[in-house]
Amino acid sequence: MLLGPALAISAVLFTLGVAGVLFRRNAIVIFMCVELMLNAVNLTFVALAQGLGVAGQVFVFFVMAVAAAEAAVGLAIILAVYRHKQSVSLQNMNLLKDG
Amino acid sequence: MILTFFWIFGVIAMGSALLCITRKNPVASALWLVVTLFALAAMFVLLDAQFIAVLQVLVYAGAIMVLFLFVIMLLNLGRPGPSDIKGPVGVLIAVVLAGAMLLQLRVLGDATLAEAVRLPPGTVAALQQQQGMVGAVATPLFEAYLVPFEIASVLLLAAIVGAVVLAKRKL
């Protein structure tokens, strides 16, 4: 009954996350947009678990574990980059760029 | 009734997600994301996933967002400064690409499950009545998904070690 609305809302949330990644430059905000995308996927898992069994809810656990690991390592990388460049803007992260 | 509440929380989630990606200040962005996560937790309750909703509040809105805010404040990014949002061309490209993606994902709204794979209505709710909210999720987690569970614990250990190594100046 709630499947259609839930999938529609999660599609909108995922798209907002993608848009945020595309038009922001701050690395931390881009990270938050990635978390938003992961949460949109969690919503589809929970919505489908209602009709297909609790395995969908178990998968949300794994998504949360991966999100926590990703947040910890990603924020550590941002801290290390900030120490070098004094900035978290992706514009200044061009070490591999030619010239 | 449930559908009305679901749409109310859905609109809150979508609105605060939009504010999250458009606020200039990273602290404001993070706080709007917390609002989105709470609205999602409410939607999980309406979808018969109360335990997942509790975890959402504890792990996401609690732990992960505190980590984000901690780093934002550690790097002192909350002060006013030039916006990190790209220029008009960048925003236009982002909106066009995101719009194309939304058009492709729009069909999800009319999705229905095939009779052959769908459980009879109320099966999950009956299972939760029988085994309890936590038990219904924990039983498959520790039986059918035991190996992925152990791999997830190794992943978390690797993430802890990696974060310490990356963030420390000298070991």
Which residues are CB-contacts of A20 (< 8 A; sequence separation ≥ 6)? A29, A30, A32, A33, A36, B20, B21
Please name each of the domains of chain B with its CATH number: 1-78 (1.20.120.1200), 119-171 (no CATH)
Quote the minimal CA–CA distance from A6 to chain B in Å: 8
Stretch B41-46: mean pLDDT: 94
Question: Cα-Cα-Cα-Cα dihedral of B26, B98, A11, B28, to 10°?
Answer: 10
**Lowest pLDDT segment from A1-5, B4-8, B24-28, B54-58:** A1-5
- The residue among A4, A55, A61, A70 whose CA lies nearest residue B111 is A4
Question: Cβ of B76 under 8 Å from any chain A Cβ?
Answer: no
A91: tokens are 């514009």
Q: DSSP secondary-structure letter at B85?
A: B
For chain A, the average pLDDT equals 90
The pTM of the full predicted model, rounded to 2 decimals, is: 0.92
Stretch B38-47: mean pLDDT: 94
Please tell me the predicted confidence (pLDDT) of residue A9: 94
Convert the pLDDT of each residue in B81-128 to its tens digit.
778 888 889 899 999 999 999 999 888 888 788 877 888 877 888 888
First-to-last CA distance in chain B?
Answer: 57
Please tell me the predicted confidence (pLDDT) of residue B161: 94
Please tell me the predicted confidence (pLDDT) of residue B171: 63
Stretch B69-83: mean pLDDT: 84
Convert the pLDDT of each residue in B156-171 to its tens digit.
999 999 999 988 876 6
Q: Which is higher by pLDDT, B27 or B78? A: B27
Chain A residue numbers with beta carbons less than 8 Å from the beta carbon of B149 are 61
Question: Cβ of A84 under 8 Å from any chain B Cβ?
Answer: no
For chain B, what percent of residues have pLDDT higher than 70?
Answer: 99
Which stretch, A30-39, B70-79, B124-133, has highest mean pLDDT? A30-39
Please tell me the predicted confidence (pLDDT) of residue B121: 79
Please tell me the predicted confidence (pLDDT) of residue B86: 85
Please tell me the predicted confidence (pLDDT) of residue A45: 94
What residue type is assigned to position B111 of the chain?
A
In terms of C-beta density within 10 A (0-12 exposed, 13-18 middle, 19 or more buried), how is residue A79 classed?
Answer: middle
In terms of C-beta density within 10 A (0-12 exposed, 13-18 middle, 19 or more buried), how is residue B39 classed?
Answer: buried
Chain position carrying tokens 């499950």: B113
Residue B54 has pLDDT above 90, yes or no: yes
A76·B106 Cβ contact <8 A: no
Please tell me the predicted confidence (pLDDT) of residue A8: 93
Paired residues of B85 in beta bridges = A24
Write down the ipTM of this complex: 0.92
Please tell me the predicted confidence (pLDDT) of residue A37: 95
What distance in Å separates the CA atoms of residue B121 and residue B126, rounded to the nearest whole number?
Answer: 9
Choose among B6, B112, B156: nearest Cβ to A65.
B156
Quote the minimal CA–CA distance from A69 to chain B in Å: 5
> Residue ranges of the alpha helices (H) in B23-131?
26-46, 50-55, 65-74, 88-105, 123-131
Chain B residue numbers with beta carbons less than 8 Å from the beta carbon of A1 are 2-3
Question: Cβ of B1 under 8 Å from any chain A Cβ?
Answer: no
Please name each of the domains of chain A with its CATH number: 3-92 (1.10.287.3510)
The continuous run of DSSP H or E covering B157 comes out as helix B146-167
- Compute the half-sphere exposure of residue B139: CA atoms within 13 Å on the CB side of its CA: 10
What residue type is assigned to position A67 of the chain?
A
> Chains A and B: how many Cβ contacts under 8 Å?
236
Choose among A35, A80, A88: nearest Cβ to B167.
A80
Residue A99 has pLDDT above 70, yes or no: no
